Chains A and B, each alone.
Chain A
Amino acid sequence: MKTTMKCAALAGVMILAGGMALAEYPEKPIQVIVGYSAGGGTDVMARTTAPFIEKYLGEGASIVVKNMPGASGQIGITEVANSDPDGYTLGTFNLPGMMARTLDRQADYDRDSFTYLANVVNDPNVIVTSKNSGLDTIDKLIAEAKENPGAITVGMSSLGGDDHFMLIKLQNMTETEFTIVPFKGSAPARTALMGGHVAMGILNISEVANFQEELNVLGVALAERSDFAPDLPTFAEQGVDLINGSMRGVVAPAGLPEDVEAKLLDAFTQLAEDPEFIAAMKATANPVEVVTGADFKALTGDLYDLAKEVWETTPWN
């Protein structure tokens, strides 16, 4: 008797739960936590994406962007990892930064703390040199680095980020050595390059697209030419197999209900094909490359392995 009651109750709960899940997600505003301040690259990505996701989630969906800046995004992403996996809290996710923070710092999350929805932006690295350095091809750059190990100064945005990993890849691949000068952000690094205070820089394609006349852009670290700046050659074309970049996407806490996950994944998949969305992103300096679900998770795993390998061989702090 008792068991039947229990079963009935359980069934009732399940029906209720099922019913609730069926009652059209989202039934209240969805919060997207951005770990950086308003107006930054990641924030602009989130706010540009939001109206399109609202459109694809359907009738009445509304997304609220909340900025929780600090500690290079760690405060925001920790909040996401610790929030309820009900689909009403999502967060922006940066690679390789978010994975690197689990290595160089104590973090209250790891790569299993999230349900991976979609990577939205892939901003590939570029190598640039100052006009007065005379190093206007990748071959000349490598030859100079081999001749005078450590003599070339490289401006970049920070240690433990995509720029840094890109340089490590270059060094390993070509057996060269450079001197890293980590500025606070890419714009000061780019300015130091234009002023000739450093010889070489590792930046992202969105950061140099408007400065092609002021700098030598040696190549783009992408398998194929970027739609964002199609006139710039890849490294692969020049015989150096360098691929690396900065990625920005959207995750949810681990353990999202399956139907909610499916609905969100579907929205992001439709996003990838929306020409209006791609145009809006290009206007805000965000090269789009949508990778959803399992592929995004695998991508995160790859970048974690890369960061770990770099951390173990050449720790940066």
Chain B
Amino acid sequence: MYSDLLHALPNVVAFANFAALVIGVLAGIVVGAMPGLSATMAISVLVPFTFGLDPLVALGLMAGIYNGAMYGGAIPAVLLRIPGTPAAVATTFDGYPMAQKGEGGFALQVAVVSSSIGGIASAFALMLLAPPLSKVTLLFGPSEVFWVAVFGLCSIIFLLGGNPVKGLISACFGVFVSVVGSDPIFGTDRYTFGQLELLDGIHIVILLVGLYALPPVIDLLETPLKTDTSNSDKLGTEPIWRTLPRMLRFWKTWLRSAAIGIWIGILPGAGGSMAAFMSYNEARRTSKTPNTWGNGEPEGIAASETANNADTASALIPALTLGIPGTAVAAVMLGGLLVHGLQPGPMLFRDNPDIVFGFMWQFLFGAILLVFLGGSLATNSFAKLLKLPRPLLGSVIIVLMLIGVYSIHGPMFDVYLMLGFGAVGYLMDKLKFPLPPVVLGLILGSFAEENLRLALRIGRGDWSVLFANTTSQILVLMTVAVIVGPIIKRRYFNKSANGPDEKA
């Protein structure tokens, strides 16, 4: 197998194939940076065009776009508090405060280096460990996946923010949105009001763009005359090699987040956003200075950006070996592979080694290219956008949002829906309801529901099926630990803090 890997290499660095990869990475960064345009969308638009292309050119474009977009999403997340892709939500937590402090340039450099590290780790996992890791995927049946979703929901309870009641209301709103559409088992319509467009549920990008992009734009326009010179001038355009030493202290976070990203990637369904949230939470939990988090801690960006790029290539492990995509993007890419006669399954590696392993190399090179292309592109061009007069910037973003949402499926209905969510988002923003729990509620709510119901059908209504095997039991223990752990810790710390006071 490893000789196949080397055998595929020369083809990958052939001019056309490598050029495709470079173009893909650049296009991916641009797409990711536009609110509303996501990697999934870009690749779905691309797939029909690849019919006439050479397989490695087509796949190179796709690998490049995927890697680029996962980083590109961080650019508006840092500069404008608008996550360019769903996976960049966690990047806004610390990225935007940094930009406000005039450290936007450093924030973007941390993002690009971390993205690249995550991507490289993931590509190695795909190249070297695909067959054994696909066995791990097989361990996760419906009941296990249900527990992963529950674990995810519990571990990010911190997202509820300062006011847990408001946070819970936000989360419930997200879960409610996940219920809209046809029921996952019987196909009964729920809250669709006869609209065919609602039958498939509400696409995450529609919700994200509405909630996240519209309120900041309205903010921009509320004070139209003030040009935002405060942070754009001081973006900090230090060359990346000079800032690199300051990042080396994140190595633990890089390792941990890469592992989390790869793990989430090989599980079907969850994807980059969950990886980013979980790794952010883990990094904060183990940090010595948790109070700086959320106020511009560069390590937070490192955590979220490493994880959301670490799930790119690993999401292809179950996709290539089992035909189940780990993320929505991987699902579209499977289509792109099928177009070139590459049918997923154990035979794929034997029948088309040059193309499959070539594709893996492209993921690795794509991740490396990110540092070279991403760093300068982001700081030199996108950051200049902020120097635009506010009314112009606001209207450019609104146009991009409308195009992005329209291009998901094509009906105007989605656009109206997005504007509706925008109104909701604006109100929530003004009333200080946190937005991240809504996004997570939508992603994990439907995930938990579907798998719980499948598990109960397998158990024929017997709830003990949820605890029936070791993998489930381990996940239950982890869930309990993540809820109880902080409570115990707080008690213990309070006691030791109070100790001296009592004596005094």
Q: Which residues of A contact B (CB under 8 A)?
A: 37-41, 43-44, 47, 65, 67-72, 74-75, 78, 104-106, 150, 153, 158-160, 179-184, 187-188, 190-192, 194-198, 207, 209-211, 213-214, 283-285, 316-317
Q: Name the contact of A181 in the complex, choosing from B140, B335, B458 (C-beta under 8 A).
A: B458
- A207, closest chain B residue (CB): B323
Contact B339 A44 (CB under 8 A): yes
Interface pairs (16), CB distance under 8 Å:
A38-B44, A38-B47, A39-B44, A43-B335, A71-B200, A74-B196, A104-B187, A159-B185, A159-B187, A183-B454, A191-B324, A198-B458, A207-B323, A210-B348, A284-B338, A284-B343
Given contacts A187-B322, A188-B268, A284-B338, contact A70 B457 (CB under 8 A): no
What are the residues of chain B within 8 A of A47 when measuring CB–CB?
48, 51, 339
A184 to B182, CA, bound (A): 12
Judge whether B336 is part of the interface by a CB distance below 8 angstroms. Answer: yes
What are the residues of chain A within 8 A of B185 when measuring CB–CB?
159, 182
A286 to B334, CA, bound (A): 15
Q: Name the contact of A37 in the complex, choosing from B44, B140, B188 (C-beta under 8 A).
A: B44
Q: Name the contact of A187 in the complex, choosing from B189, B323, B332, B346 (C-beta under 8 A).
A: B323
Judge whether B6 is part of the interface by a CB distance below 8 angstroms. Answer: no
Q: Name the contact of B345 in the complex, choosing from A72, A211, A283 (C-beta under 8 A).
A: A211
Q: Name the contact of B332 in the complex, choosing from A39, A74, A182, A196 (C-beta under 8 A).
A: A39
Contact A180 B346 (CB under 8 A): no
What are the residues of chain A within 8 A of B187 when measuring CB–CB?
104, 158-160, 316-317
Contact A70 B200 (CB under 8 A): yes
Judge whether B420 is part of the interface by a CB distance below 8 angstroms. Answer: no
Known: A37-B335, A210-B346. 8 other contacts (CB 8 A): A39-B44, A65-B48, A70-B409, A71-B200, A182-B457, A191-B137, A197-B141, A207-B323
Contact A197 B196 (CB under 8 A): no
What are the residues of chain B within 8 A of A158 when measuring CB–CB?
187
Distance from B192 Cβ to chain A, minimum over Cβ atoms (Å): 9
Given contacts A37-B44, A195-B138, contact A68 B410 (CB under 8 A): yes
What are the residues of chain B within 8 A of A75 when measuring CB–CB?
196-197
Given contacts A39-B335, A44-B335, A159-B185, contact A191 B194 (CB under 8 A): no
A269 to B338, CA, bound (A): 26
A105 to B196, CA, bound (A): 10
A47 to B51, CA, bound (A): 8
Give residues of chain B (322-378) contacting chain A, Cβ–Cβ below 8 Å: 322-325, 332, 334-336, 338-339, 341, 343-348
Contact B343 A39 (CB under 8 A): no
A105 to B186, CA, bound (A): 12
What are the residues of chain A within 8 A of B45 when measuring CB–CB?
38
What are the residues of chain A within 8 A of B196 when measuring CB–CB?
70-71, 74-75, 78
- B333, closest chain A residue (CB): A39
A192 to B455, CA, bound (A): 11
Contact with A along B158-175 (1 / 0, CB 8 A): 000000000000000000
Contact A38 B194 (CB under 8 A): no
Distance from B338 Cβ to chain A, minimum over Cβ atoms (Å): 6
A193 to B266, CA, bound (A): 17
What are the residues of chain B within 8 A of A38 when measuring CB–CB?
44-45, 47-48, 332, 335
What are the residues of chain B within 8 A of A283 when measuring CB–CB?
341
A198 to B339, CA, bound (A): 30
What are the residues of chain B within 8 A of A65 when measuring CB–CB?
48
Judge whether B216 is part of the interface by a CB distance below 8 angstroms. Answer: no
A-B pairs with the 8 shortest C-beta distances? A39-B335, A197-B141, A210-B345, A283-B341, A195-B138, A317-B186, A71-B199, A187-B323
- B52, closest chain A residue (CB): A51
- B351, closest chain A residue (CB): A210
Contact A192 B142 (CB under 8 A): yes
Judge whether B460 is part of the interface by a CB distance below 8 angstroms. Answer: yes
Judge whether B450 is part of the interface by a CB distance below 8 angstroms. Answer: yes
Judge whether B483 is part of the interface by a CB distance below 8 angstroms. Answer: no
- B337, closest chain A residue (CB): A39
A284 to B28, CA, bound (A): 27
Given contacts A180-B457, A197-B142, contact A39 B199 (CB under 8 A): no
Contact A191 B345 (CB under 8 A): no
Judge whether B318 is part of the interface by a CB distance below 8 angstroms. Answer: yes
Judge whether B480 is part of the interface by a CB distance below 8 angstroms. Answer: no
Given contacts A71-B199, A213-B346, A317-B187, contact A191 B138 (CB under 8 A): yes
Distance from A40 Cβ to chain B, minimum over Cβ atoms (Å): 6
- B345, closest chain A residue (CB): A210
- A185, closest chain B residue (CB): B324
Judge whether B184 is part of the interface by a CB distance below 8 angstroms. Answer: yes
What are the residues of chain B within 8 A of A190 when measuring CB–CB?
322-324
Judge whether B139 is part of the interface by a CB distance below 8 angstroms. Answer: yes
What are the residues of chain A within 8 A of B410 when measuring CB–CB?
68
What are the residues of chain A within 8 A of B142 when measuring CB–CB?
181, 192, 197
Given contacts A47-B48, A71-B196, A183-B454, contact A195 B139 (CB under 8 A): yes
What are the residues of chain B within 8 A of A78 when measuring CB–CB?
196
Q: A67, A71, A197: which has the most chain B beta carbons within 10 Å?
A: A197
Contact A181 B343 (CB under 8 A): no
Contact B457 A153 (CB under 8 A): yes
- A100, closest chain B residue (CB): B187
Distance from B346 Cβ to chain A, minimum over Cβ atoms (Å): 7
Distance from A224 Cβ to chain B, minimum over Cβ atoms (Å): 23
Contact with A along B390-421 (1 / 0, CB 8 A): 00000000000000000001100000000000
What are the residues of chain A within 8 A of B199 when measuring CB–CB?
70-72, 74
Distance from A70 Cβ to chain B, minimum over Cβ atoms (Å): 6
What are the residues of chain A within 8 A of B339 when measuring CB–CB?
39, 44, 47, 284
